[in-house]
Structure 1
Amino acid sequence: LFLFSFSGVPAVVDFAAMRDAVKNLGGDPEKINPICPADLVIDHSIQVDFNRRPDSLQKNQDLEFERNKERFEFLKWGSQAFKNMRIIPPGSGIIHQVNLEYLARVVMDQDGYYYPDSVVGTDSHTTMIDGLGVLGWGVGGIEAEAVMLGQPISMVLPEVVGYKLLGNPQPLVTSTDIVLTITKHLRQVGVVGKFVEFFGPGVAQLSIADRATIANMCPEYGATAAYFPVDDISIGYLIQTGRDKETVMRTKKYLEAVGMLRDFKNSSQDPDFTQVVELDLHTVVPCCSGPKRPQDKVAVSDMKEDFETCLGAKQGFKGFQIAPDRHNSTVQFNFEGCNFELGHGAVVIAAITSCTNTSNPSVMLGAGLLAKKAVEAGLTVKPYIKTSLSPGSGVVTYYLRESGVMSYLSQLGFDVVGYGCMTCIGNSGPLPESVVEAITQGDLVAVGVLSGNRNFEGRVHPNTRANYLASPPLVIAYAIAGTIRIDFEKEPLGISASGKKIFLKDIWPTRNEIQAVERQFVIPGMFKEVYQKIETVNKSWNALDAPSDKLYTWNPKSTYIKSPPFFDGLTLALQTPKTIEDAYVLLSFGDSVTTDHISPAGNIARNSPAARYLTSRGLTPREFNSYGSRRGNDAVMARGTFANIRLVNKFIDKQGPQTVHFPSGETLDVFDAAERYKQAGHPLIVLAGKEYGAGSSRDWAAKGPFLLGVKAVLAESYERIHRSNLVGMGVIPLQYLPGEDAGTLGLTGRERYTIIIPEKLKPQMNVQIKLDTGKTFHAIMRFDTDVELTYFHNGGILNYMIRKMAS
């Protein structure tokens, strides 16, 4: 099992609190200990505070330790207090890329018995390893904690959709273009809760890095897993990345013996699937996705026109509702003594980031070769654009440097700023003040372009309302252009010193160029050199001192680590679930509300409830850090629930983290309204549309609403991991009956709801909901298995584990 730092800290906090709870119930606290081995990779805490300077990496790492020293000491305590928990220190890379390049075995050898490797992780992009033929998927942090304690995972047997790949990609197409095309296609097909398995002769045309890119974005198209069976290319990758050759050969023999080594060109090996869909790789064209969702693919040739259409379109996934007479408005500003101009569509962030793409040598070397040609042609990037390069492992820097392209990337501003998720998860750091002022003054739709996997509203940066996912070479191209409003086929990127117009096609490297460099410089030796010292290379981590007690001594002054209230008053006896009576609706949402909307990870706004709390504890805004870094403190995280500045609540006529407190009629911050309801003893529910809880496997997106007093969510559909997290916290996931929704039932959200909980429950049963208006309707209670009902009767999965261990 894998954890990453944002989910690892709350997991260790929960374990520490569970030990206290077991002791209070008369049990042995040391029974709270991982049985299933867990690797925790610290990859989510580093931010892009410094960029465009040679010492950016060291400066960002130093600041990471300064901000997070207390969290890191706590994690180090956890690695000593709990058995079977290994910490991969900060600066080592991104968990999924480290797994792909180093940790994954494909076949396990336990005392001479062989069986297929498998993994679950607390990050939804755990599916990246499916590209190597290891079946893995993301689970909620709460469920993962139970798994670590020996609890099996239960799930409804999924349908398996076969995705047949045919043909060859065109010469200018990258793996990024392929995965964005697949993401849009499978969102249209509908694969939530299903496994996808790739097959067909087109798979043989894809490298393991290409397959890993496609598997990585599995959560964006909604599937549980995105599996590529092992073939000879997979075996070759294990050797290329420095795995022991003898072990790799045994792996191959085992897979041959059990019939699991595939030849994708042999159709007789194709399995039977629930459903088959196809993609001809030759039809894929260079593309981006945005401006607000990963599935909204746009061909590069259409980007200018599409963005200009979005400017005037109604507020929504593809609209900003800017008045037509303001589409070409600009704002002048000064940066470092020079005057510049910003308009709608101006690029202010350009980030080569995320394991989705930095794990792929072909797109990374392609970006490097494009940078080389751009510099040689005299092209530059405007100095105010926040450029950055954050590879998923040290191997990337190694081959970029050895191949001679690193210096050209640096000349365009793409210096290495850290080894972690960074801009992809919203750790993009601050923009220059003059840029922010210009954006605010002109109410501009500024743009972030990143090689990441998510671009939900408010995720990348508070001041970039439009964010586009793109391949690393396209990130550089848009950085040079300085705007998204460019037609690369008709408009030049710039003018050379000799006055010649330079078009993108003039500097775009060919596939043959990229492959030649990859063959020469991406070699086994560099993987071995980087990974043999991964656990010891960070001197700051090695110097950390941590307590050795088995029970954690909580510091009441800490604003990072706090004993959570989840187990307060817990007894061995079960409490019978009660009907939820006269609940108010805290929030009413439309479709595609993500876990970033529910529990943001990035910047803590200075006027937010969380900021007011931290200020009351003596902290200055500079010390706030991010929501993600404070997931070990429930007081901050409860206040950060539904705190996304781009939240769209139907009760409010503008975007923002506010709602109506119906008893008083006041408009309040969501946390403040919830507190008022709680003090008056009123239960709460949330109304939502389709795909509620899409995005990251964020346990606080369930823990936070629980602490606000939310007893149930009523939605049209759920993303898999978030539904599981709600179950884990004892929050009831209700789903409208087929063909029904808030509109068809005439629900406004201003009613009060009584949800009848019968004495005898069964999976996916219908329950009755009565309104104070006299209306009655039914909804499906989405406890999908008997095991999930057991968790519900216990008030959640962690309560169940505590009772189990204590008794």
Structure 2
Amino acid sequence: MSTTPIKDSLNTRDTLTVDDRTYGYSSLPAASRHIGDLSRLPYSLKVLLENLLRNEDGITVEPGHFEAMAAWMENRRSDTEIQFRPARVLMQDFTGVPAVVDLAAMRDALEAAGSDPARINPISPVDLVIDHSVMVDNFGDADAFTDNVSIEMQRNRERYEFLRWGQQAFANFRVVPPGTGICHQVNLEYLAKTVWTGDQNGEVMAYPDTLVGTDSHTTMINGLGVLGWGVGGIEAEAAMLGQPVSMLIPEVVGFRITGALREGMTATDLVLTVTEMLRKRGVVGKFVEFYGDGLANMPVADRATIANMAPEYGATCGFFPVDEQTLNYLRLTGRDDHQIALVEAYCKAQGLWREDNHEPVYTDTLALDMGDVEASLAGPKRPQDRVSLKNVKSSFELIMQQGEGTASAPEGKFEGEGGQTAVGVDNSYAHASSQLCELGGASVRLDPGAVVIAAITSCTNTSNPSVMMAAGLLAQKAVARGLTTRPWVKTSLAPGSKVVTEYLAASGLQSALDSLGFNLVGYGCTTCIGNSGPLPEPIEKAVVTGDLTVASVLSGNRNFEGRVHPLVKTNWLASPPLVVAYALAGNMRVDISKEPLGFDSDGEAVYLSDLWPSQAEVAEAVAQVKTAMFSKEYAAVFDGDAIWQAIEVPDSKVYNWSSESTYIQHPPYFEGMQPTPEPVQDINDARVLALLGDSVTTDHISPAGSFSADSPAGKYLSEHGISRTDFNSYGSRRGNHQVMMRGTFANVRIRNEMLDGVEGGYTRHVPSGEQMAIYDAAMRYAEEKTPLVVIAGKEYGTGSSRDWAAKGTLLLGVRAVIAESYERIHRSNLIGMGVLPLQFMDSDNRQSLKLTGDESISIAGLGGDLSPGQTVEMQVDYPDGGRKTCSVRVRIDTANEIVYYQNGGILHYVLRDMMAS
């Protein structure tokens, strides 16, 4: 913790003794004696208030901030900016590698300035979990896990050597090696404490466990009463280096939960319902806090399932207060007795303990009786688009009729082994037809609607024993009836931790899953992040040749276009048991709510209702999950296997960059950086690089999955001697800016409205009119010294907290993005990289201004004293000589963000601050 002189103007310091250990703490009840009754302040805001009280320094935190928190009770909203200091930072390797690359580059810059590079060092504790690199190359047999891990280590050796260097070079930085689990599940089961302790100016303080993470689904930990959310890697790096997270005191939406789930319903069905409700209500940038008597019997695993999908319903977090269920989970997962006693005593002393019938004051509320939840999926391309199980077939048929989601290769060319298609996509279903293909020596027919991927994966559900056991029980019953998985389905099981393997084995259910092809393929985020691996080549060829619309069904939280697999255009989120069911049925055009999944050895139809386990059966299986399983698997969580331990790295303060590496390269962000930033210049006569519609995700902007040999990134790797089979993924290459800038706006499903009927990362160079890859156009504009802008619709930047969506935008030469609205994290990331987010006002948008991309854009008023949320003038010059001007809002929301933007980014600000001191 900080050694900055701490003030205590409200005289809140108190002590708490637990098991003969005494802790200091900043008392919320003591604060209420000065600023008013805080008992009905939302629990999540109480955590923020405690953070302010404990870090009062008279500069970044002062008494006016406390008064603003108290005033929130009356107004239920606030425009006051506060500085939040999380206790720790969580990373995964896709986002963690570029963060460590940035830190290494900052060390170089500091050394070049004549200062000790070791000053660049995390101040807050950092845990990086390597969980996003394993791919489902092999599946469906007992060797799948061993084979995939071996391939992972070979593919990623350069990255892992770099992380091993970071592990020894940086203090306060721990790495959980590959093959351990998903960062959010490891956080839930092991890293989180609910109440943290640390030294502050010589006193051991107790305070709420809080964090920010470089993955959107950091919010999963909210289910354990820990306040945390996803931020971009840029913002996380700043937090590591001691910079507070600047934010406005948020609005808090209360979500009242009552009743209980009916027989046959799962936590996945519940979360898809919650996600749909909250997206419709509109909670972007807000906290959501759950309350109501339905929480009394809701286990932490179910809470974590709901909290995990906060990014999908658009909220900053989905917070559950601490109660007896929290303690039960801490006991189950092997936290020590003193820690559990501290959590209970501290939360009760602070008013952070959930009491029955207590209802805080909220900005807005909505309610759900869990008895109303029905079996559901979400799809075909957004997690908030819930579809009742009974309506999935008709929903898919409607997709077919509307022509959404065909797959075809450019100019009829087939790219096997995970290759992507790019242009010339024909969205007509008129000629879609079944295809015969050879699989395992037999000829099978692949029909439209075929389920080609069925994956039990992702932190959302694999952390929840009830749905995992339900999947195993359904598989067991299916095997007993003689059912098998359809031969065209690629099946996989990627648990979030080794504990899942322990309890599936102990219950005898893993063998049944194995019989259906759901063998262990790895511990990590696989299909959900796009690491689904290639489909069997006959399947890929059949999909392209027949222009088939096929499907994936996964127990994940993300199903955006182009994310799971480039040839699979409809992707459906479902509970683990429904994933198994669809693997048996084999096609989305089977109404599994009433049609047979298959036929047994006697020719009798087998229905989903015949296989679905009862709540009693699931409860009996879940009872076999024991504390000893957690204690065993987390005993040596940071050690890694023999391959990891054998990686040798130099003992050096600065990294020895290799020009030969195609994974790790020195980034250009700090080249030529002066001690004082140059004044911000207006944008004059910029060209439009891309003209985009609504709901453009960070996956569209910076994809994570595979890429083809003829893409700019593929060409770069080929030129550097990398064979196509060793391309790996964009996500794994995030330590190399040369790959990532070539992959910016390169998703195969992105639609640039400057082009007609073309999908993929293409644009039109103006004024030549040539169609080319966005990267190639950006490089030509750079040679011409032409500034660039991107124009978009609503909800720009939804999805993952992907810093490369901002970094790549900057490196392509984009000065500003003008959109109708932004998702919270991406807006922040753009500022963090010195890219200006602007927002259309009133009824202005790309349609009302009749933009085609041929215009030139100028933005005036940037060079003066910017203020948060101010308006500036945008001038549009049309090719026919016409001109329009309109006001746009600067979406820099806080004073700190102004400073970051004027410095060219948050890391530049931190580095200049260190150089000055």
Shorter-chain TM-score category? Answer: over 0.9
Q: In the TM superposition, what is the alpha-carbon distance from 1:535 to its structure 2 partner? A: 1.4
Q: 2:546 corresponds to which residue? A: 442
Q: How does 1:486-501 map to 2 (within 5 A)?
A: 486-501=590-605
Using the alignment, how far apart are the partners of 1:575 and 1:796 within structure 2? Answer: 12
1:302 equivalenced with 2:394 (yes/no): no
1:476 maps to 2:580: yes
User: What is the aligned partner in structure 2 of residue 515 from structure 1?
Assistant: 619
**Is the contact between residue 288 and residue 315 of structure 2 (CA under 8 Å) also seen in structure 1?**
yes
Q: Kindly state the Cα deviation for residue 250 of structure 1 after the two structures are TM-superposed.
A: 2.4
Correspondence for 1:8: 96
AA matched with 2:512: Y
The reply to whether residue 275 of structure 1 matches residue 384 of structure 2 is no
AA aligned opposite 1:276: T
Structure 2 partner of 1:458:
562
Go from structure 1 to structure 2 and tell me whether the alpha carbon gap of 1:236 and 1:378 turns closer, same or farther (over 3 Å shift): same
One-letter amino acid of the counterpart of residue 779, structure 1: V
Partners of 2:519 and 2:428 in 1: CA distance? 38
Q: What do the CA deviations read for 1:387-440 (whole angstroms, capped 9, x no partner)?
A: 000000000000000000000000000000000001110001111110000000
Whether the 8 Å CA contact 1:128–1:213 is kept in 2: the answer is: yes
Of 373, 376, 386, the residue aligned with 2:477 is 373
| Secondary structure, counterpart of 1:387 in structure 2 | strand
Aligned counterparts of 2:426 and 2:262: Cα–Cα separation in 1: 36
SS at match of 1:742: coil
Task: Report the counterpart of residue 789 of structure 1 in structure 2.
Answer: 898
Task: Please say if residues 559 and 633 of structure 1, whose CA atoms lie closer than 8 Å, have aligned partners that are also in contact.
Answer: yes
**Unmatched segments (≥5 aa) in structure 1:** none
5 Å matches for 1:406-425?
406-425=510-529
> Which has the larger displacement, 637-646 or 200-209?
200-209
Contact 1:727 1:796 in 2 (8 A): yes
Report the secondary structure of 2:331's partner residue.
helix
Highest RCO, 1 vs 2 (Cα 8 Å, sep ≥ 6):
1
Write the mapping of 1:170-319 to structure 2, written as runs, cut at 5 A.
170-263=262-355, 266-267=356-357, 269-313=358-402, 315=404
Provide Cα deviations, 1:698-720, integer angstroms capped at 9, x if missing partner: 11000001000000000011111
1:207, 1:233 within 8 Å by CA — same for their partners in 2? yes
Seen in structure 2, the aligned counterparts of structure 1 residues 753 and 322 have a Cα distance that, compared at 3 Å, is closer
Q: TM-score, with normalisation over the residues of structure 2?
A: 0.86
- Give 1:789's aligned amino acid: I
Q: 1:154 aligns with which of 246, 250, 254?
A: 246
Give me the whole-angstrom Cα distance separating, in 1, the residues matched to 2:187 and 2:532: 24
Q: How does 1:623-634 map to 2 (within 5 A)?
A: 623-634=726-737
Which of 202, 209, 220 is the matching residue for 1:117?
Answer: 209
- Alignment-derived partner of residue 826 in structure 2: 722
Deviation of 1:323 (Å):
4.3
For residue 257 of structure 2, what is the aligned residue in structure 1?
165
Distance 2:362 2:584 in 1: 45
SS in 2 for 1:560: coil
Unaligned runs of 5+ in 2: 1-88, 407-424
Correspondent of 2:784 among 680, 691, 700: 680
Residue 614 of structure 2 corresponds to residue 485 of structure 1: no
Measure, in 2, the Cα distance between the counterparts of 1:685 and 1:325: 38
Per-residue CA shift, 1:649-696, capped at 9, x if unaligned?
111222121110112100001100111111100000001111111111
Tell me what 1:80 maps to.
Answer: 168
Is the 2:806–2:830 contact (alpha carbons within 8 Å) kept by the matching residues of 1? Answer: yes
2: CA distance between counterparts of 1:641 and 1:748?
21
Structure 1, residues 310-358: CA drift from partner, whole Å, max 9, x if none? 11215489xx98546446x211111121011112110000000001000
- The one-letter code of the counterpart of 1:605 is S
Q: Distance in 2 between matches of 1:322 and 1:680?
A: 36
* Stretch of structure 1 that moved more, 337-346 or 749-758: 749-758
8 Å Cα contact 1:28/1:806 also seen in 2: no
CA contact (8 A) 1:311 1:321 kept: no
- Counterpart of 2:742 in structure 1 is 639
Equivalent residue for 1:532? 635
Within the candidate set 875, 887, 893, 1:770 is matched to 875
Q: In 2, Cα distance between the equivalents of 1:314 and 1:67?
A: 38
- Separation in 2 of the partners of 1:660 and 1:161? 43
- In the alignment, the residues of structure 2 paired with residue 118 and residue 761 of structure 1 have an alpha-carbon distance, to the nearest angstrom, of 32
The CA distance in 2 between the partners of 1:169 and 1:371, in whole Å, is 22
Return the offset for 1:744.
2.4
Do the aligned partners of 2:176 and 2:640 also contact (CA within 8 Å) in 1? Answer: no
Measured in 2, the distance between the counterparts of 1:563 and 1:163 equals 46
CA contact (8 A) 2:451 2:488 kept: no
- Selected match of 2:453 from 317, 334, 349: 349
Question: Does 2:180 match 1:92?
Answer: yes
Identify the residue that residue 847 of structure 2 maps to in structure 1.
743
Once residues 122 and 416 of structure 1 are traced to their aligned partners in structure 2, the CA distance between those partners, rounded to angstroms, is 26
TM-score (norm 1): 0.98
Please tell me the residue identity of whatever aligns with 2:610: D
**Counterparts of 2:516 and 2:500 in 1: how far apart (Å)?**
18
- Structure 1 CA distance, aligned partners of 2:678 and 2:338? 56
Please give the secondary structure, in 2, of the residue aligned with 1:567: coil
Which residue among 552, 562, 569 is the counterpart of 2:665?
A: 562
Does residue 66 (structure 1) correspond to residue 154 (structure 2)? The answer is: yes
Q: 2:446–2:488: 8 Å Cα contact kept in structure 1?
A: no
C-alpha distance in structure 1 between counterparts of 2:105 and 2:428, whole Å: 53
1:430 corresponds in structure 2 to 534
Q: Which amino acid aligns with 1:722?
A: H
Give the AA of the match of 1:213: T
Q: 1:602-639 CA deviation, whole Å, 9 max, x = no partner? A: 10211100011111111110111111111010101010
